[in-house]
Structure 1
Amino acid sequence: MTDVSITLLVLVVVVAAFVWNRLPVEVVALGAALALYGTGIVGLEDTFAGFGSGTVVLIAALFVVAEAIDAAGVTTWLGSLLIRFSGTSRSRLMVLMMVLTALLTALISVNGAVAALLPMVVVLAVRLGRRPSELLMPMAFAAHAGSLLILTGSPVNILVLNAAVETTGTGIGFFEFGLVGLPLLLGTIGLTLWLGPSLLPNRTPEALPKDLGSHGATLMTHYLGDDRLSRLTIPAGSALVGQPVACFQEDDDGGHLHLISVQKPDGKPSTLATFTAGDDIVVRGGQPRIDTFAARHGLTQDDNATCGLISSSYGVAEVVVAPRSNLVGTEAYPGMVTESGTLVVLAHQHPGEQESSGRSLITAGDRLLLQGTWSALDQHTVDHNVLLVDSPDTIRRQTVPLGPRATPALIVVGIMVVLLATNLIPAPVAALLAAMAMVVLRVVTVQQAHRSMAWTTLILVAGMIPLSTAITSTGTAEILAEGMVSVVGGGGPLLLLVGIFVVTAVLGQLISNTATALIIIPIALSVAQESSINPYTVLMCVSVASSAALLTPVATPANMMIMQPAGYRFGDYWKFGLAIMALYAAVAILLVPVFWPLQT
């Protein structure tokens, strides 16, 4: 067999394996690379070149940046703005949601934006009495359109940029993708408002994500009943300064007030025996009694804290004592500092009983409400002795908009966008610097950065690069291009664009759009060379067609993400997807040549 025959055979097997969808896509991609090496089509260095490519580094760095934006509370803040301004109007809700999704996608990719906004949109649908199926497909399709607003919107954009640089010596501008991305976004919004009510599926999901937006109030009612928990700050002139903590007593005037804890402003327990200016005291009692006590001693209540439980600096975690836990038989009481010295027990509750206000022994199944800094909660609630009800990280992301690290996160993203837009340094270097800055500035931990990696995407890109290389180096791309030219070339360059769009779009419904781009780009460039067409025109046509992954849930991870929360079925995507696909075809075939003329 010739090198071309072997390459074509590997290509056919890879596409068939992707469509079959029984093997992990990572295995298929890596198997393709190893098959090419085993048959001698590519050398050892080329086989693994993808794992050291700047493309993979850039994509990985953007995953970390996306995680940092979400961890800093930026997406929560955007969600709160959406709820505030959308009201009950369907049209306003759709427009704002889709614009927000597209803008976020432009910065952190389709999958990152959909993953970040999915819980918020589902909760929004429930709060407004709408089905999630009404909102989630428009959100995903807006993300696809938003991926073409700027360079960072999609790995495909990066592949197209690299191909343009290698072919012509010059790239595509950071904002140049927006020439097609903006019409796609506006058209998608218009079609959603016009055809959405009749074409969008009306489904009911089996289960909905947990809404933690009012988590503080829920915990307050569950553990404290009619009482309230408040956080009071001791100013320098307060009569409490210097008084012994042990002598605190407020049970006169027909009311009562319990001192639960003395903490530093960041939520860390104080180890001093006396009250100190600047400390916060956590008290429990009726709200009128708390107000009276605060006024008497000149204390200020933290209005930014949710029910005295959650703020940007500290939060709470609810844990259940596990069977055979080492904690069984030990003593607990409200205000007790845990063994780590960083968390305070706010409440202790036996199964089926009211919260215990005094000392009591812990039994299996008991519930403990713990408070401390977010980092302390993350670190010390992962313990085999207890079962965590809701992770502190999840609570923080849903309840704390614009957390303490939001400012450095936004500054880093702004600098990264400027560097990418101006090409002062290579794109992988700019993104990697941004990702490193997010870790150094503690916007995300190293562990969170590791977890943010979408390894499927990274391995897929790295594994498919050798196949893309082989398609070019063996002359396979030229042969396929000649075949396409011989079939549709007589109809002129515009018909060639139609052929490129159809092949790319159809393949993109069956396999990853990133994998599709890696396969089609060398073929499209050969078509451009064979027919003397501007390579930028065919590359942008491929970029638009690759983003038109709209007809099946397996086309992109974002399509798959929304399937279960919305209750969609496999065949629900094509009805509305075809309408949007027609828009993509019009942009790719008619509008792309306007900005990138067919003839150079």
Structure 2
Amino acid sequence: MTTPQILVFAILATMMVLFLWGQFRHDIVALLALMACVVTGLVPAEDAFSGFGHPAVITVACVLILSQGLQNTGAVDWLSRAVLPARAGRLTSMAALMGLGALLSGFMNNVGAMALLMPVAVQLSGRLALTPGQVLMPLAFSTILGGMTTLIGTPPNLIVSGFRAEAGGSPFSMFDFAPVGVAVAVAGVAFVALAGWRLVPARKAAGAEGFETGTYLTEVRVPEGSKAVGMTLRQFENEIENSETQIVGLVRNEVRMTAPHGGRRIRAEDILILEANVETLAKALSALGIKLEEQGSSSGDQRQEDEPEAKVTDTESGEDKPELRRDEDIVLRELAVLPGSSIVGRSASDLRLRTRYGLNLLAVSREGHPPRARLRTISLRSGDLLLMQGPAEVMADFIDDTGCVPLGERHLRIPDTRLAIIAGAIMLGSVGIVTAGLLPAAAAFTLGVIASMLLRTVPPRQVYTAIDWPVIVLLGALMPVAGAMEVTGAADVLARLLVDTVAQGNAIAALAVVLVTTMFLSDVMNNAATAAVLCPIAMGIAATLGVNSDSYLMAVAIGASCAFLTPIGHQNNTLILGPGGFRFGDYWRLGLPLEVLVVAVSIPLLLIVWPL
């Protein structure tokens, strides 16, 4: 091997180790790999950021924005009500939900489709007498399968199409993926709906009992002469820090306030509402001269009946401005943290939930179990389940700002029939332009984004927040790295190694190797990154064997859409980890048979539709 080839393999190996380690975000790892290629001279400095102008990257960004329009207008809500049966058995209900998830994922971001249908799945699980996980995992897998059916269904398809164009051919068209992709998706959905869901472990739902909360909501009255009089609430919490207690409300002059500002000073006869472990709290309170209020504690099961009322926070002065609200204005919501959410990696203290939103974080559940860290200092992760308390309209703002998914029935978005029709028409129009070959995908969907802004299905201020920027950076950074593999001949070296040692020179065996390798890598690293790494290798294998490279590129596309063995393989798998109460090793029970089915169905179809 030449020195450039050795350098490329070293950078790729380091990149994959960092991907698997998971301590750094995928986009950061991709940028590190890109800069390593630039520093070593494998990628010319002037071409370092050429990947950000790649048509595949532009198309992914535009599709995310158009998907946001479908969500904003309630188009998907209307479709789900029209398609999903209200009273049907398990088979019909599961098949309808999974079919809808797969259909939506073919034309919009599959994480968005999953987020929209999660509350429906949780409600359906109750009606079907199943655990939420037994419906959420089939839904997650169906939305992943649906992405392989069209050009815009998932970023790997766009990457595969881009590599075909760069190799001298034309890009794949909108529905070139459909003959194999639809058959595989239908087979997968049918298998899971008929019998596969029984393989999903029936984990107990990660409800309030799975959260790290105190045993009780406890009310304590601050008497005259108490050492707490004159303290700020923040100082009070610091004094009783070892009792694992947080203040969730304050009653003063018969007015109840939720999430009072930490700078508010305690007065005599104030009643503090504490989320606490009473056994450890009592000893701490006695040192401050405070006693538990008689008949003031309420079981955690009665929280909804004992909620404190709301407050309005003046963030300029840091003072709370309480106002009386009806009890029903204060709500409890279970929120799932989406991958890529703005709160990932931050704690309740970092977010300033009380001063910024006037909300209480009552509990966190992670993989169905409470984390061990202190509640207000827990660094949140994607897939965490949060129990939040506060005014309904403030909760809605928090959900919109952070991208969390509310579980249970949603009253946060009122469908607008006119705008829903417009959003659907824009998406269909963009797809139609690409299908007819009038414009390339990047240009057609860019026109769709402009139309969405002009017609207000996506407000201009929301355009940039709708884009999953880590994915865009990942794609833009990896394009030049993949190009370095081709230019240095590293892809050809690896292709020959696989063909000679694994496939033994057999084209069909090599096709299976490409598919299985892509599936395995997608289970442990980002599927877009997997596609970008495997495409040049796949084309190198085809060139070595002297066969049609389209078969191998399609195998990469299918394999990249089949991450079913781990919760980290795909964002939708991560999203259900908390709400389903799953453990890391739960996914393979359904995922492994499903991946075997995908291989069994796709290999013959690839040979028929894209003959060698």
**Both structures adopt the same fold (TM-score exceeding 0.5):** yes
Match of 2:475 in 1: 461
* CA contact 2:138–2:197 (8 Å) conserved in 1: no
Is 1:474 the counterpart of 2:488? The answer is yes
Is this contact kept in 1: 2:542–2:552, CA < 8 A? Answer: yes
Query: Residue 530 of structure 2 aligns with which residue?
Result: 516
Tell me the distance in 1 between the aligned counterparts of 2:355 and 2:424. 33
Pair 1:128–1:488, CA change in 2 (3 A): closer
Is 1:597 paired with 2:611?
A: yes
In structure 2, what is the equivalent of residue 99 of structure 1?
A: 99
Which residue does 1:532 correspond to in 2?
546
Kindly tell me: are residues 414 and 193 of structure 1, through their superposed partners in 2, closer, same or farther at Cα, counting changes over 3 Å? closer
**Pair 1:57 & 2:50 matched:** no
Q: Which amino acid in the other structure matches residue 90 of structure 1?
A: R
TM-aligned CA deviation for residue 420 of structure 1: 1.6
Q: What is the alpha-carbon distance in structure 1 between the residues aligned to residue 16 and residue 356 of structure 2? A: 45
Alpha-carbon distance in structure 2 between the residues aligned to 1:324 and 1:565 = 31
Question: Which residue of structure 2 lines up, in the alignment, with residue 21 of structure 1?
Answer: 22
Aligned Cα root-mean-square deviation (Å): 2.8
* Partner of residue 72, structure 1: 73
Match of 1:202 in 2: 202
Do residues 450 (structure 1) and 458 (structure 2) align?
A: no
Q: What is the one-letter code of the residue matched to 1:438?
A: S
Alpha-carbon distance between aligned partners in 2 of 1:383 and 1:75, rounded to the nearest angstrom: 34
Given that residues 33 and 464 in structure 1 are in contact (C-alpha distance below 8 angstroms), is that contact kept between their aligned partners in structure 2? Answer: yes
Q: Report the AA paired with residue 104 of structure 1.
A: L
Match of 2:515 among 467, 483, 501: 501
What letter corresponds to residue 556 of structure 2 in structure 1?
A: V
TM-score, normalised to structure 2's length?
0.68
Amino acid at match of 1:73: G
Q: 2:110 & 2:73 partners in 1: Cα distance?
A: 19
CA deviation string 1:169-205 (max 9, x = no partner):
2232311211112211221122113432431111123
Letter paired with 1:58: T
In structure 1, what is the Cα distance between the partners aligned to 2:262 and 2:567? Answer: 44
- The answer (yes or no) to whether the contact 1:70–1:116 under 8 Å persists in 2 is yes
Equivalent AA in structure 1 for residue 10 of structure 2: L
Matched residue type, 1:140: A
Aligned to 1:548: 562
- How far the C-alpha of 1:384 sits from its partner, in A, is 6.0
- Secondary structure of the residue aligned to 1:464 is helix
**8 Å CA contact 2:173, 2:434 repeated in 1:** no
What secondary structure, in the 3-state scheme, does the structure 1 residue paired with 2:204 have?
coil
Q: How does 1:61-460 map to 2 (within 5 A)?
A: 61-83=62-84, 85-207=85-207, 364=322, 366-367=324-325, 388-389=391-392, 390-391=395-396, 398=412, 400-460=414-474
2:154 is matched by which residue type in structure 1? S
Q: 1:55·1:428 contact (CA, 8 Å) conserved in 2?
A: yes
Instruction: Give the letter aligned to residue 91 of structure 1.
Output: L
> What is the one-letter code of the residue matched to 2:324?
D
Shift of the alpha carbon at 1:366? Answer: 2.5
Answer whether contact 2:75 2:421 (CA < 8 A) is retained: no
In the alignment of these two chains, the number of paired residues is 446
**1:299-343 per-position Cα deviation (integer Å, ceiling 9, x unaligned):** xxxxxxxxxxxxxxxxxxxx97965999xxxxxxxxxxxxxxxxx
- Deviation, 1:505, is 1.4
Secondary structure of 2:191's aligned partner:
helix
In structure 2, distance between residues paired with 1:398 and 1:406:
16
* Aligned AA (1:51): F
Hey, what's the Cα distance between the residues in 2 that align with 1:119 and 1:473?
48
- Aligned 8 A contact 1:420 1:430 in 2: yes
Distance 1:81 1:325, change over 3 A: farther
What is the DSSP-based 3-state SS (H/G/I as helix, E as strand, rest coil) of the residue aligned with 2:149?
A: coil
Match runs of 1:573-588 below 5 Å: 573-588=587-602
Q: Is the 8 A contact 1:82 1:93 kept in 2?
A: no
Quick one: distance in 1 between partners of 2:487 and 2:416? Answer: 50
3-state SS of paired residue (2:589): helix
For residues 564 and 140 of structure 2, what CA distance do their matches in structure 1 show? 9
Between 541-550 and 195-204, the greater mean CA deviation after superposition: 195-204
Q: How far did residue 367 of structure 1 move?
A: 2.4
Q: Give the greater-gyration-radius structure (CA).
A: 1
Distance 1:436 1:173 in 2: 22
Once residues 192 and 466 of structure 1 are traced to their aligned partners in structure 2, the CA distance between those partners, rounded to angstroms, is 39
**1:60-112 CA distance string (max 9 Å, x none):** 111111111010001211232345x1524100111111110011001113222
CA 321–194 in structure 1, closer or farther in 2 if over 3 Å, else same = closer
Match of 1:38 in 2: 39
The residue matched to 1:170 in structure 2 has which SS? coil
Corresponding letter in the other structure for 1:167: A
SS state at 2:464 partner: helix
| 2:98–2:143 CA contact under 8 A, matched in 1 | yes
Contact (CA 8 Å) 2:503, 2:513: kept in 1 or not?
Answer: no
AA aligned to 1:456 is: P
Check whether the contact 1:133–1:202 (CA below 8 A) recurs between aligned residues: yes
Q: Distance in 2 between matches of 1:425 and 1:539?
A: 23
| Contact 1:71 1:397 (C-alpha < 8 Å) held by counterparts | no
The 1:62–1:399 alpha-carbon spacing in structure 2 relative to 1, beyond 3 Å, is: closer
Flag structure 2 segments of 5+ consecutive residues without an equivalent.
Answer: 209-256, 265-305, 311-319, 330-353, 360-390, 401-405
Q: Distance in 1 between matches of 2:357 and 2:541?
A: 64
Structure 2 residue identity aligned to 1:580: L
Shift in CA distance, 417/468, structure 1 to aligned 2, threshold 3 Å: same
Contact 1:74 1:406 in 2 (8 A): yes
Q: What SS does structure 2 have at the residue aligned with 1:597?
A: coil
The answer (yes or no) to whether the contact 1:552–1:559 under 8 Å persists in 2 is: yes
Cα distance in structure 2, aligned partners of 1:147 and 1:324: 47
> How far 1:52 moved relative to its partner?
2.0
Change (3 A) 1:36 1:399: closer
Query: Which amino acid in 2 is paired with 1:481?
Result: A
The gaps in structure 1 that reach 5 residues or longer are 209-318, 327-349, 355-361, 371-381
Residues 76 and 402, structure 1, Cα contact 8 Å, conserved in 2: no
Q: CA deviation at 1:502?
A: 2.1
The TM-score with structure 1 as length reference comes to 0.69
Change (3 A) 1:16 1:383: closer
Distance 1:120 1:195, change over 3 A: closer
Whether the aligned pair in 2 keeps the contact of 1:61 and 1:432 (CA below 8 Å) is yes
Give the distance between the partners of 2:534 and 2:135, measured in 1 at CA. 32
Distance 1:92 1:78 in 2: 17
| Most deviating of 451-460 and 168-177 | 168-177
Tell me the secondary structure at the aligned position of residue 176 of structure 1.
Answer: coil
Counterpart code for 2:107: L
Secondary structure of the 2:112 match is helix
Aligned partners of 1:78 and 1:518: how far apart in 2?
34
For residues 534 and 412 of structure 1, the distance between their equivalents in structure 2, rounded to whole angstroms, comes to: 36
Deviates more, 1:569-578 or 1:156-165: 156-165
**1:366 partner amino acid:** L
From the superposition, tell whether residues 570 and 352 of structure 1 become closer, same or farther in structure 2 (CA, over 3 Å).
closer
**What secondary structure, in the 3-state scheme, does the structure 2 residue paired with 1:564 have?**
coil
